[in-house]
Amino acid sequence: MKNVRTDLAVEARELYCKEKEEEKHGIKVSTKKIEDINITTVDVLNEEGEEKIRKPKGTYITLDIPKVTLYDSEDIEDISKVLAGELTDITNKIKLNESMTVLVVGLGNWNITPDALGPKVVDKLMVTRHLKKYIPDSIDEGIRPVCAVAPGVLGITGMETGEIIRGIVQNIKPDLVICVDALAARKMERVNSTIQIGDTGISPGSGVGNMRMEISQKTLGVPVIAIGVPTVVDAATMANDTIDIVIEKMESEVSKNSKFYSLLKTIDTEEKEELIHEVLNPYVGDLLVTPKEVDMIMETLSKIIASGINISLQPALELKDINNYIS
């Protein structure tokens, strides 16, 4: 797993199981299906589980949504409601009530489309903290105070994103922080078709080898929920998978008694990965790949995630009423 780039706990668990051929204590996995959405929950229970899949102890919920470039409004609403339900299950564990303030942070660089998911979500959120503070008589009692920020990235601001968020948290004292970020996946089929919710916080840029300050309850002093969608995959990983498919195909067509078959069977996985990186590095470096329709996909995914957050945080309102506040 050391050379594999992924932010998804479900993929890290799959890689571990593939290598070890079994799950032992420390990881609990459950699955369910709501309409066309497969939902996998990976619970990392202890330090043993942390060591196996290299994810902090906590709960990671993965939604595999239908993969299309554009969704109609009904599809967006259906997926958003499923997302809202899973998010609400997590917020219920921390006993979040309607009077508590939530800060939503849109992580990422708004100038780079595959990394702009967080800022795009913030643009579509129902923010109400200022209304509750300055014109409380003009809004419904059941509306929760929500505020949001898109703090940019180190290269734009010159400040660690975690430092900015920590300063905001110290001033407004929210009861919960929700971070939204673009992630990296191990498999191309998960790109733009998987939503992960986790209750352990986030280390921005970790999936693409660009670790920044951790954003978690440990660093902020309040619970942190992370929501992310993988928007890129490592080119070297794609090349590695392609070679594996070719080898598998050749193995099925070559006599098992031949020397060539024996040679194929002796290829070491780590040596193969290192060779791929060495070959690609002079030409493309650490290349990350994203679909060409990424601009349209980001717009749709940001609507899904923003609506899911809005529905979860404002249970007293219907989605159509929430949209009236936004527009």
Please check whether residue 321 lies inside any domain of the structure. yes
pLDDT, residue 17, reads 66
In this structure, the answer to whether residues 55 and 71 fall within a common structural domain is: yes
pLDDT, residue 207, reads 46
Q: Mind listing the pLDDT tens digit of every residue in the chain (327 residues)?
A: 445 567 877 777 776 665 554 455 688 889 999 988 999 999 999 888 888 888 889 999 999 998 765 677 888 899 999 999 999 999 999 888 888 999 999 999 999 999 999 999 999 999 999 987 888 777 777 899 999 999 998 888 989 899 999 999 999 999 999 999 999 888 888 888 999 999 999 876 554 455 568 899 999 999 999 999 999 987 777 777 777 777 777 666 666 666 666 666 666 666 666 666 666 666 655 678 888 888 899 999 999 999 999 999 999 888 888 887 775
pLDDT, residue 90, reads 94
CA dist 299 → 117, 227, 303, 318 (Å): 8, 16, 6, 22
In this structure, the answer to whether residues 255 and 172 fall within a common structural domain is: no
Please give the Cα distance from 316 to 128 (Å, whole number). 14
User: Whole-prediction pTM value?
Assistant: 0.83
In this structure, the answer to whether residues 317 and 297 fall within a common structural domain is: yes
CB 326 within 8 Å of CB 126 = yes
Please check whether residue 30 lies inside any domain of the structure. yes
Please give the Cα distance from 319 to 137 (Å, whole number). 22
In this structure, the answer to whether residues 264 and 319 fall within a common structural domain is: no
Q: Which residues pair with 106 in a beta bridge?
A: 180
Residue 34: burial class (beta carbons within 10 Å; 0-12, 13-18, 19+): middle
CB 124 within 8 Å of CB 308 = no
Please give the Cα distance from 256 to 260 (Å, whole number). 9
Please check whether residue 2 lies inside any domain of the structure. no
Extended strands (E) in the chain = 27-34, 37-44, 58-64, 102-106, 146-149, 176-185, 194-198, 224-234, 288-289
In this structure, the answer to whether residues 247 and 225 fall within a common structural domain is: no
* Nearest one of 118, 97, 217, 227 to 169, comparing CA atoms: 217
In this structure, the answer to whether residues 162 and 280 fall within a common structural domain is: no
In this structure, the answer to whether residues 124 and 46 fall within a common structural domain is: yes
Please check whether residue 311 lies inside any domain of the structure. yes
Domain region containing 256? 237-284
Tokens at 10, concatenated: 């479900």
In this structure, the answer to whether residues 184 and 265 fall within a common structural domain is: no
Residue identified by tokens 């706990």 is 9
Evaluate the CA torsion angle 64, 70, 71, 73 in order and state its sign. positive
In this structure, the answer to whether residues 185 and 262 fall within a common structural domain is: no
List the CATH number of the domain containing 80: 3.40.50.1450
Please check whether residue 201 lies inside any domain of the structure. yes
Please check whether residue 3 lies inside any domain of the structure. no
User: In degrees to the nearest 10, what's the CA dihedral of 72, 77, 80, 86?
Assistant: -140
pLDDT, residue 99, reads 86
Domain boundary among 284, 300, 317: 284
- DSSP output for 221-284: SS-EEEEEEEEEEEHHHHHHHHHHHHHHHHHHHS-TTSHHHHHHHT--HHHHHHHHHHHHHHHH
In this structure, the answer to whether residues 133 and 263 fall within a common structural domain is: no
Please check whether residue 305 lies inside any domain of the structure. yes
Please check whether residue 299 lies inside any domain of the structure. yes
In this structure, the answer to whether residues 175 and 309 fall within a common structural domain is: yes
How many domains are there within the chain?
2
Angle of the 319-326 helix axis to the 294-313 helix axis, nearest 10 = 110
In this structure, the answer to whether residues 257 and 185 fall within a common structural domain is: no
* Nearest one of 132, 127, 109 to 119, comparing CA atoms: 109
